[in-house]
C-alpha cells in the first residue's frame, strides 16, 4: 500500500512539474509573440524607413517610387509614430512593422490618384502592432500620409468596429458600406479584431481634405504639429 501511494505521489509530482514547464513555455511564447516580435519589427521598420528617406534625399523630383516604400502614415490618435507603407499585405511585408496597401482581392488606389480608395492593412498585435490603437480613431480625426513631395491630409468620417474578414466591399474604390456613393479620394485602414485574435476585421474610412507640398524643411501640416 505504501509503495502504491509513493508511486501515485511520484506520478502526481511529475505531472505537476510538466504542467509548470508547459505554463512557463506558454508564457515565453506569449512574450515572444506580443513583445519580442514588436521589438524585432520596430528595428526592421526603422531601418527600412531610414532607407526610404535616404533614397528621397538623393532622388530627383518625379513620379511616386513604389520600390522600397511609398511613404509614411501618421495617425495622431493612434499614437504609433510614423508607419512606413509598402506594397502588398502578405505576412512577409506586414511582419516587418509596416503597413501594406492592398494589391488583391481589390487593388488599392494610390494617394496621388485622382480618385479611388487608398486601402491599407497592418497588424494589431505583435510584429510592430502598428494599428493596435485603431479603436481610438473617431469621426473628424486626422490621418496624414507623407510622400517625398506631398502631404495628404484625410479626415475620418466612418468606423466599422467589426465585419467579416471576407468582406472585401470595404476596399472598393467607392466604399458604399461607409455611406459614400460617388467616386472620391478615400483612405481605408483595416486590421484584425478583437484584440489578440484574427476573427473579424476593424475598418476605418477617411476622405481626402487637402494636400500640401512638402517644403525644404519637411514642415509637417498643422495636424501633426
Active site residues: 192
| Cα(166)–Cα(23) distance, integer angstroms | 34
Q: Are 218 and 204 in contact (CB under 8 A)?
A: no
| Residue of 139, 121, 147 lying closest to 206 (CA atoms) | 139
d(CA 224, CA 101): 22
Identify the CA nearest to 140 among candidates 203, 205, 58, 214: 205
How far apart are alpha carbons 211 and 138 in whole angstroms?
A: 21
The H-or-E segment that residue 9 falls in is: helix 2-31
SS3 content of the chain, % helix, strand, coil (to 5): 35, 30, 40
Amino acid at each position: 500500500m505504501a509503495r502504491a501511494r509513493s508511486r501515485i505521489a511520484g506520478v502526481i509530482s511529475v505531472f505537476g512539474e510538466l504542467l509548470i514547464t508547459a505554463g512557463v513555455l506558454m508564457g515565453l511564447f506569449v512574450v515572444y509573440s506580443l513583445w519580442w516580435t514588436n521589438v524585432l519589427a520596430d528595428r526592421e521598420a526603422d531601418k527600412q524607413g531610414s532607407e526610404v528617406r535616404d533614397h528621397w534625399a538623393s532622388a530627383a523630383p518625379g513620379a511616386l517610387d513604389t520600390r522600397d516604400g511609398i511613404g509614411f502614415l501618421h495617425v495622431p490618435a493612434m499614437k504609433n509614430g510614423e508607419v512606413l507603407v509598402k506594397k502588398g499585405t502578405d505576412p512577409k511585408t506586414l511582419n516587418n512593422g509596416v503597413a501594406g496597401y492592398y494589391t488583391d482581392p481589390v487593388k488599392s488606389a494610390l494617394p496621388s490618384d485622382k480618385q479611388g480608395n487608398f486601402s491599407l492593412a497592418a497588424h494589431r498585435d505583435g510584429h510592430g502592432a502598428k494599428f493596435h490603437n485603431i479603436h481610438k480613431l473617431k469621426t473628424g480625426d486626422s490621418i496624414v500620409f507623407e510622400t517625398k513631395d506631398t502631404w495628404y491630409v484625410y479626415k475620418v468620417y466612418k468606423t466599422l468596429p467589426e465585419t467579416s474578414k471576407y468582406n472585401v466591399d470595404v476596399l472598393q474604390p467607392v466604399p458604399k458600406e461607409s455611406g459614400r456613393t460617388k467616386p472620391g479620394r478615400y483612405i481605408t485602414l483595416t486590421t484584425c479584431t478583437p484584440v489578440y485574435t484574427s476573427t473579424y476585421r476593424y475598418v476605418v474610412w477617411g476622405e481626402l481634405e487637402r494636400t500640401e507640398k512638402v517644403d525644404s524643411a519637411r514642415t509637417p501640416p498643422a495636424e501633426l504639429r
